[in-house]
Amino acid sequence: MLEIKGLGHRYADGHRALTGIDLGVERGELVCLVGPSGCGKSTLLRCVAGLLRPTEGTVTLDGNTVDRVPDGLAVVFQDYTRSLFPWLTVRDNVALVLRRRGLGRRERRAAAEEALAAVGLADAVRKYPWQLSGGMQQRAAIARALAYRPSLLLMDEPFGSVDAQTREDLEDLLLTVRGGEGGMTILLVTHDIDESVYVGDRVVVLTGAPGTVHTELRVDLPAPRDQIATREHPAFVALRAEVGRAVRRP
């Protein structure tokens, strides 16, 4: 579905962020990207999103070159504090992106409230983003992306600012949502090696700088994943060790 070939990017200031990235992602697959800070993960996501035109190589989606933002895309930006619109309530932030789905105003609001409830923000729907804590803002941004029901979802460090328990709940929410109808292809950037193995079908380890693909690991773990059982599964333990080694020893 998603095909990245020879992708490289050099920023206008001459900084080389990415080089020679080759990566294919199947429809419905959840691929985790891990790698040290500054290795170009966000840059890669921006290229896939069509927000940044790579200076080398191509990104194709269903055979079409990505030269603008593709349809059915949703993004959870790393900098979630500046991605919600401060002049709209949390609910209206979510409802705004649903306009494209051709829903009426009341349906949009209902869908927004449902999505916010799913991330534990049922009581904050009428608040403005700047009235929320960082973790709550981050969950609002996740709710917005999930409510949109994208076919391609890009998430940049989406669970970075929440407590461990909430983080696990959000991981499971993500796994439930992607299993739903339609099938969602997901690229998820994370710094948490355990998380990458727990939620991913595949883990791609990047190294910098400039960012390149270091290792790709398929995650073969029993299907309904479980926070306790999966994490003590021998295959899980082996995989996280392997990812850990790849991240540490470039």
Ligand X SMILES: Nc1ncnc2c1ncn2[C@@H]1O[C@H](COP(=O)(O)OP(=O)(O)OP(=O)(O)O)[C@@H](O)[C@H]1O
The residues that touch ligand X, with contacts defined as CB under 6 A, are: 11, 13, 15, 17, 37-43, 78, 209
Q: Which is nearer to ligand X, 2 or 39 (CB)?
A: 39
DSSP 3-state of 25? strand
Binds other proteins (CB under 8 A): choice among 19, 42, 83, 137: 83
Contact between 120 and other proteins by CB under 8 A: the answer reads yes
* Residue labelled with tokens 């990235």: 21
Q: How far is the CB of 35 from ligand X (least distance, A)?
A: 6
Q: How far apart (Å, rounded) are the C-alpha atoms in residues 48 and 137?
A: 24
Q: How far apart (Å, rounded) are the C-alpha atoms in residues 109 and 147?
A: 11
Q: How far apart (Å, rounded) are the C-alpha atoms in residues 203 and 225?
A: 16
Stretch that binds other proteins, among 14-22, 26-34, 159-167, 191-199 (CB under 8 A): 159-167
Q: How far is the CB of 187 from Mg ion (least distance, A)?
A: 13
* Residue labelled with tokens 């021998």: 234
Binds Mg ion (CB under 5 A): choice among 7, 21, 39, 42: 42
Binds other proteins (CB under 8 A): choice among 1, 51, 209, 221: 51
Residue 149's contacts (CB-CB under 8 Å, 6 or more residues apart) are: 101, 182, 184
Token pair recorded at residue 60: 């194709």
Amino acid at position 214, single letter: H
Q: How far is the CB of 241 from other proteins (least distance, A)?
A: 29
Q: How far apart (Å, rounded) are the C-alpha atoms in residues 77 and 84?
A: 10
Residue numbers at the binding site for other proteins (CB under 8 A) = 49, 51, 69, 71, 73-75, 77, 79, 82-83, 85-88, 96-97, 99-100, 111, 114-115, 117-124, 127-128, 130-131, 136, 139, 146-148, 162-163, 165-166, 169-170, 172-173, 176-177, 180
